[in-house]
Amino acid sequence: MKYLLTISYDGRSYCGYQKQKNGVSVQEKLTDAASALFGDGTKITGCSRTDSGVHAVAFKATLESENAKIKPEKLPSALNAHLPPDISVRDASESDADFHPRYSVKEKEYRYIICNSSTRDPFSEGRAYFFPKKLDAEIMNEAAQSLVGKHDFRAFMASGSKIEDTVREVYSCTVTREGDNITVSVRGNGFLYNMVRIIVGTLIAVSDGKIAKDDIAKIIESKDRKNAGPTAPAEGLYLYDVKY
Amino acid sequence: MKYLLTISYDGRSYCGYQKQKNGVSVQEKLTDAASALFGDGTKITGCSRTDSGVHAVAFKATLESENAKIKPEKLPSALNAHLPPDISVRDASESDADFHPRYSVKEKEYRYIICNSSTRDPFSEGRAYFFPKKLDAEIMNEAAQSLVGKHDFRAFMASGSKIEDTVREVYSCTVTREGDNITVSVRGNGFLYNMVRIIVGTLIAVSDGKIAKDDIAKIIESKDRKNAGPTAPAEGLYLYDVKY
């Protein structure tokens, strides 16, 4: 049987989704929980890697096991009984045999939360980027519109990445404020390594007066990482939704 | 100099606001931070005790010190530099010499968050009461209206409390749902020990069919703790606002 799982996790305690030699991964915790239920040979495949400290509201993964004959609606509670409190399976459904959680992705949405308060908010600790200097969400939102469309986003990729095809389509990019929290939401068909965090760092630099609002298009054209803003820290980033 | 501080804290790691022999208190952390800035003899006085694990969005406390000559607007950052990430001074203003953060209170607002989802939400862990069985916020809100007014709330006080005057006035009590989160907001001139948590436990029992919606008035009249619902856990409770 093959199931599609929707998983939320607080990434603070993990080296990321993907199994790694150093550090505990979300994948490892999921595999342990699934193996406890269905024995060895249970396979978990995720929709994406996420960096250390990055969170997920609706990460997607498949669970495959010959021994798994449980009804999908019973699976979340069964797995959660074997998972730590910072990882939770929120939903499960049956999945086609040829479905791949990574290669079948049509759209992903990331959200980035900036705690833009003059003083620290204890409830945002590790779950938002604390930026005390006042930001202008409207100007950030205007600048963000230049990112929408099909572009070569090489300037917004971590330097050293070895991916050759750096063309991606951004469907929407919006910046909104609610109280002290600024949310950057980016939807697209795929993202380069650190792309969302570099977008956020660049939009902050726009509000901060370090990059001109109208220069975003030029930065994209330059294909040079040095022209974009800094990479915003991992703690504000959430994989928010994945569509197939 | 005497200052009035507004403080947010995540109560998970503390035995409560008040200094105690066993466990680390918020008051202790605040006193340590203030003493680091202004030396011994610095006095912190809080607006209320809060139980172990209870949170605060806007706890009020005064800071008194002969050596404190800092401008109020500089005080939050100065204190936060000496505080752990789960406690933050959000605001400071000058305070009159005769002002008392506890005896001068005119109104307090508590909020209680219930995570009413069939599966755990990692982002609510320790910050909301996870109650997987579906609750009806509208019925809870209707039942809550019987609590509004000046009543003897002895039935909603932890048994064993030795307070004699158990009359309090509740200004409003509302129950609202937003997605999976149900918020119970209670405003009043003062609260008995565990009163908000017993109110929440009772409203949950109403939705759960264990207490009739129209019986709240009778429970108040009975003045008997045994007739009210169970005490909801500390993790969902927030001291939200204090007015003078």
Looking at residue B194, the DSSP 8-state letter turns out to be T
Structure tokens at A199: 């977008």
> Do A153 and A167 meet the contact criterion of CB atoms below 8 Å apart?
yes
How much is the average pLDDT of B161-165?
91
Chain A's closest residue to B125, CA to CA, is A85
Q: Show me where the domains of chain A are located.
A: 2-94, 107-243
The predicted-structure confidence for B189-222, as pLDDT tens digits, reads as follows 999 999 999 999 999 999 999 999 999 999 999 9
**CA B99, CA B242: separation in Å to the nearest integer?**
14
> Do A219 and A153 meet the contact criterion of CB atoms below 8 Å apart?
no
Chain A's closest residue to B180, CA to CA, is A90
Question: ipTM value of the model?
Answer: 0.91
- Residue of A85, A119, A125 with shortest CB distance to B86: A125
- Which helix (H) or strand (E) segment is A203 a member of? helix A195-207
Q: Where are the beta strands (DSSP E) in A13-154?
A: 43-46, 55-64, 87-94, 107-115, 129-130, 149-152
pLDDT at A221 over 90: yes
* Fold assignment, A107-243: Alpha-Beta Plaits (3.30.70)
Q: Which residues of B fall within a CB distance of 8 Å from A87?
A: 122
Structure tokens at A238: 């959430």
- Domain A2-94 shares a fold with domain A107-243: yes
Per-residue pLDDT, B68? 85
CA max distance for chain B: 58
How much is the average pLDDT of B2-26?
95
Instruction: Express as a percent the part of chain B with pLDDT over 70.
Output: 100
Instruction: Express as a percent the part of chain B with pLDDT over 90.
Output: 93
The predicted-structure confidence for B80-108, as pLDDT tens digits, reads as follows 999 999 999 999 999 999 999 999 999 99
Q: Which residues of A fall within a CB distance of 8 Å from B122?
A: 8-10, 85-88
Looking at residue B151, the DSSP 8-state letter turns out to be E
Helix (H, G, I), strand (E, B) or coil at B46: strand
Q: Residue B188 forms beta bridges with which residues?
A: B108, B170
Count CB neighbours of A154 within 10 A: 18
Per-residue pLDDT, A59? 98
The predicted-structure confidence for B123-136, as pLDDT tens digits, reads as follows 999 999 999 999 99
SS3 percent helix, strand, coil of chain B, rounded to 5, is 30, 30, 40
In the numeric block, the tokens 């929120």 are attached to A90
Q: Which residues of A fall within a CB distance of 8 Å from B118?
A: 76-77
Per-residue pLDDT, A82? 98
pLDDT at A162 over 90: no
pTM: 0.93
Looking at residue B164, the DSSP 8-state letter turns out to be S
Taking domain A2-94, whether its CATH number is 1.10.3720.10 is answered by no
pLDDT at B150 over 90: yes
> What is the set of active-site residues of B?
51
How much is the average pLDDT of B3-32?
95
Determine whether the interchain pair B122/A10 forms a contact, defined as Cβ–Cβ distance below 8 Å.
yes
CA max distance for chain A: 58
**CA B10, CA B26: separation in Å to the nearest integer?**
10
Residue A20's pLDDT band (boundaries 50, 70, 90)?
confident
pLDDT at A160 over 90: no
Per-residue pLDDT, B22? 85
How much is the average pLDDT of A127-154?
98
By residue count, chain B amounts to 244
Per-residue pLDDT, B99? 96
HSE-up of residue B222 (Cα within 13 Å, Cβ side) = 13
Per-residue pLDDT, A22? 85
